Structure 1
Amino acid sequence: MLFASVTLAALAVLLAWPVPVLLAKAHWPTRSPGIALLLWQAIAISGGLSMIGSLVTFGLIPFGGSLLQGLAQLPQLLAEGPLPAGTGLIHIFALSSAALLAAHLVLNLIVTVTRTERQRRRHRSLVELLSTPLPDRPGAPIHIIDSPAPVAYCLPGARTVTVLSEGLVALLDPPQLEAVIAHERAHLRQQHHILLVAFQSWRSSLPWFPIATRAQVAVSLLVEILADDQSRRHTDAETLAGAIALVGSAETNALTTNATQFVESSAALASERSAVSMRVDRLVHPEPQLPLAERVLILVAAAVLLAVPLVLLLAS
């Protein structure tokens, strides 16, 4: 099991720093955002399995010749003793760390999902109370809130709602408004909130881990790009690009005002401007998606990333 532990540790290190950094800096994800999202998920899952698996396989070395044998003997030996010869504090520490890390990740995911769903229900109740439904609209209900800020978002769940502000309706012309509505409905249709909550949980569970933040930012941009692509099926690229630019400009102006009071707003301002600029440029100067051979290669790489830690664990 020592070989499996060392290999899993090496894989965890690769997936914790160089691989996500290279992916976040790459240009190709904007050309094939769906495949890029699959790769990000494979990196996150494989990285977590590798971290925990490395600790487990190392800690179980004195308990048996294989992972399954060690796991089968571990409860009885811990409860009744004696511990196998060669068991040291470092093995107990590795097993304890694996258990704590796994519990921390799972509990944080449960807390994040529960909190997010509670906030959505509360927000939906406020929207229904303080907004005006837009009549004669097919599909998910659209509500208009009385706010001068140009705002558009969706609330997923059993009763999905698309929310627009008076400021947004006044800012955009009818074709641009339809493009924004199609964009928000694409988020609902493709269930982007599930993916966003998962990466939000990863970030909140490892706040000291810069790659978790980088991954969340990259995934957030990719789901926006996917929604842009869906919106383009209902409108032309120039109309959607104009709507994104207008709304993005108004939002960054608000952040600029707040930046005089909050230093950290400068980072949000730069990130927002960069994302808006990238989305607009992608629509105005479209590039073809990756060739089929490259897309297949990336999918194979994602599958390999998921398979390697599982194979190492089962074979150890």
Structure 2
Amino acid sequence: MFLVAGVLGALALALAWPVPVLLSRAAWPARAPAVALALWQAIALAGGLSMIGCLLAFGSAPAGSLPAAAEQLAPVLLEGPIPPAYGALEIAALALAGAVALLLMLNLAFTAVRAERERRRQHQLVDVLSDPMPGDPRTRVLAHPVPLAYCVPGIRTTTVLTDGLIEVLDRDELDAVIAHERTHLDQLHHLVRLAFRAWHSAIPWFPIANRAERSVVTLTEMLADDGARRLVGTVALRGALERVGNAGESGPFPDAAPGASPDAAMLAARLERLEHLDRLDAAVAGREVDHGLPRALPGLVLATSVGLVAIPFAGYAAMLGIIP
């Protein structure tokens, strides 16, 4: 069990600091945002499971397995005495594992409920204050001079534009904005961001949580840009971004909760990426193209993502006695 605790502890430390720092500074994620997003999700999941698993393995080491430790400790938790094999460190590790797991799960549930309430409120406000866009009932238009676009997910999805946005964009640029927002909806970016926002709000003092959320937000914006490029091309998308900038992008769903949102730095990264794709002549209709990456890199990154998640699951299997 100490070996399991050591392996999971080492993995948790690696995924808590050096790996996210290196990934957030790397250049290749902008060229393969879908693969990079999968890796970020694997890092977050494996990191959380490894941290909790390390504490559980260390705390249950005197019993040899987690079920045996539960069998020994459960009857004496309230009345005592604690078996002598368990010292203060083991009890503290088990208690901390439970507290961390409870904190993460409750914060995820709270964030999801708050976001769902906000989305319902947004749907109600949009229904009352906006009109359907002619020829496109899924798009609603608000009478407001500020150029703004966002999408509201749910069972009934809605893309919202303002009069101010429509006035400053030509038809192709407007189509690019609509396609961008609908890509957010189609690819369920609000769920991906929700998980990282919950992680960030659970441990706001942890710098990697903020770095991870910012990276994920940037990657989802790039994926939505790709959806717009496939429909209307790079020129129209770049024109829309240059005309309205961050004022035309509020994220995949309006949410009052604190967290990372598209900003000037993200906009600059997106525009730089579009210039790079232009140089590579990457706007090929209807298919994903090589963005200047080694051909083996996407497969290697996906295999790494699977491996990162598999390690803590193997550790839990060892703790439960499923594997020796």
CA RMSD of aligned residues (A): 1.9
Return the structure number with greater helix share: 1
Q: 1:245, 1:276 within 8 Å by CA — same for their partners in 2?
A: no
1:165 to 140, 162, 165: 162
Residue 40 in structure 1 maps to residue 31 in structure 2:
no
Equivalent residues of 2:60, 2:69 under 8 A apart: yes
Q: Deviations over 1:216-259 (max 9, x none)?
A: 0000010010011111111110110111121116579xxxxxxx
Q: Secondary structure at the match of 1:179?
A: helix
Q: Which amino acid aligns with 2:68?
A: Q
Please give the secondary structure, in 2, of the residue aligned with 1:162: strand
Q: Unpaired segments of 5 or more residues in structure 1?
A: 253-267
2:286 is aligned to none
Written as runs of structure 1 = structure 2, the 5 A alignment for 1:254-273 is 272-273=263-264
* Distance in 1 separating the partners of 2:314 and 2:75: 26
8 Å CA contact retained: 2:149, 2:248: no
Alignment of 1:280 with 2:283, yes or no, is: no
Q: In the TM superposition, what whole-angstrom CA distance separates every residue of 1:138-186 from its partner, at most 9, and x where no partner exists?
A: xx61111122211000000011110001111111111100111011111
Identity within the alignment, %: 47
Deviation, 1:97, is: 0.7
Q: What is the CA-CA distance between 1:78 and the residue it aligns to?
A: 3.0
| Distance in 1 (alpha carbons) for counterparts of 2:65 and 2:110 | 34
After superposition, the Cα gap between the structure-2 partners of 1:185 and 1:251, relative to the gap in structure 1 and judged at 3 Å, is closer
Aligned twin of 2:4: 4
Superposition deviation, residue 203 in structure 1: 0.5
Match of 1:242 among 235, 239, 242: 239
In structure 2, what is the equivalent of residue 124 of structure 1? Answer: 123
Matches within 5 A, 1:71-110: 71-78=70-77, 81-110=80-109
Partners of 1:222 and 1:311 lie apart in 2 by 30
Residue 315 of structure 1 corresponds to 318
The match for 1:197 is 194
Distance of 2:216 and 2:242 partners within structure 1: 20
Distance 2:102 2:205 in 1: 18
5+ long unaligned stretches in structure 2: 250-259, 281-289, 320-324
**1:11-50 equivalences in 2 (<5 Å):** 11-50=11-50
CA distance in 2, matches of 1:163, 1:313: 45
Contact 2:246 2:263 in 1 (8 A): no
- Are the structure 2 counterparts of residues 211 and 117 from structure 1 closer, same or farther at C-alpha, using a change threshold of 3 Å? same
Alignment of 1:174-213 (within 5 A): 174-213=171-210
Contact 1:176–1:243 under 8 Å retained in 2? yes
For the 8 Å contact 1:154–1:188, the answer to whether it is kept is: yes
Tell which deviates more after alignment, 78-87 or 198-207. 78-87
One-letter amino acid matched to 1:272: D
Q: Summarize deviations over 1:44-72 as a string: whole Å, max 9, x none.
A: 0000011111111111122x112333234
Give the secondary structure class of the aligned counterpart of 1:220: helix
2:132 counterpart residue number: 133
Is 2:42 aligned against 1:51?
no
What is the SS of the residue equivalent to 2:7?
helix
Q: Which residue in 1 is equivalent to 2:255?
A: none
Distance 1:249-1:58 versus aligned 2 partners, 3 A rule: closer
- Once residues 247 and 2 of structure 2 are traced to their aligned partners in structure 1, the CA distance between those partners, rounded to angstroms, is 56
Aligned partners of 1:202 and 1:212 also within 8 Å: yes
The verdict on how the C-alpha distance between 1:104 and 1:249 changes in structure 2, with shifts beyond 3 A counting, is closer
Q: CA deviation at 1:77?
A: 4.3
Structure 2 distance, partners of 1:172, 1:293, is: 40
SS, match of residue 87 in structure 1: coil
CA distance in 1, matches of 2:85, 2:16: 31
Q: How many residues are aligned here?
A: 297
User: For the residues of structure 2 that align with 1:151 and 1:74, how far apart are their CA atoms?
Assistant: 57
Relative to structure 1, the CA distance from residue 198 to residue 26 in structure 2 (aligned partners, 3 Å threshold; closer, same or farther) is same
Counterpart contact for 1:143–1:164, Cα < 8 Å: yes
Q: Residue 159 of structure 1 aligns to a residue in which SS?
A: coil
Give distance in 2, aligned partners of 1:55 and 1:125: 45
Distance 2:50 2:239 in 1: 44
Identify the residue that residue 260 of structure 1 maps to in structure 2: none
**Alignment match, 2:256:** none
Equivalent residue number for residue 262 of structure 1: none
